[in-house]
Amino acid sequence: MESLFDAEQSYVAIARLRALQPDQSPLWGKMTPAQACAHCQVALRMALGDLSWKRSLIGRIFGGLAKRVLLAPKPLARNMPTDPRFVVRNDRDLDTERDMLITLIQRFTAGGPAGVRTDPHPFFGALTPAEWDLLQVKHLEHHLSQFGV
């Protein structure tokens, strides 16, 4: 997956999501497939401008460095720390969460670069549409790989 702005690659990501099973065990981490789908929704909602949080002080200090690390051409590291607002701890229904995530992916794809938010990310700061796209691709790839799909 190189870009969710590309309809064909978006379709492949969605097909992989549909391969998730509720009882699949993660290869790392503690999330269930349903929790991972709910977690990925938060990132896409942020990219689409549905969620907006103020820039954090720690983000202003370390966000630029973290952004460079995450945008580097290598997969996201396993068990990376995440903002507590992205953490999903309660039980979720996989079909519901997957359908909501698929809808967000389709919105992201249909909106293209013009559809992503223009205000800064609360941690990473200013992002170009290509950077928003790459973060979503890497994040989805990370969690799909977490379940071996």
Q: Identify the domain containing residue 29 by its residue range.
A: 7-146
Classify residue 47 as exposed, middle or buried by CB count within 10 Å of its CB (0-12, 13-18, 19+): buried
Tokens of 142: 């990370």
Give Cα separations from 44 to 25, 48, 73 (angstroms): 24, 6, 20
Rounded Cα distance, 136 and 47, in Å:
8
Q: Which phi and psi (to 5°) does residue 105 adopt?
A: -60, -45
Please report whether residue 24 resides in a domain: yes
Please report whether residue 116 resides in a domain: yes
Please report whether residue 49 resides in a domain: yes
Number of domains in the chain: 1
What's the predicted TM-score (pTM) here? 0.91
Tell me the per-residue pLDDT of 34-89, one tens digit each, with 9 for 90 and over. 999 999 999 999 999 998 888 888 778 888 888 998 899 999 989 887 877 788 99
Please report whether residue 121 resides in a domain: yes
Please report whether residue 27 resides in a domain: yes
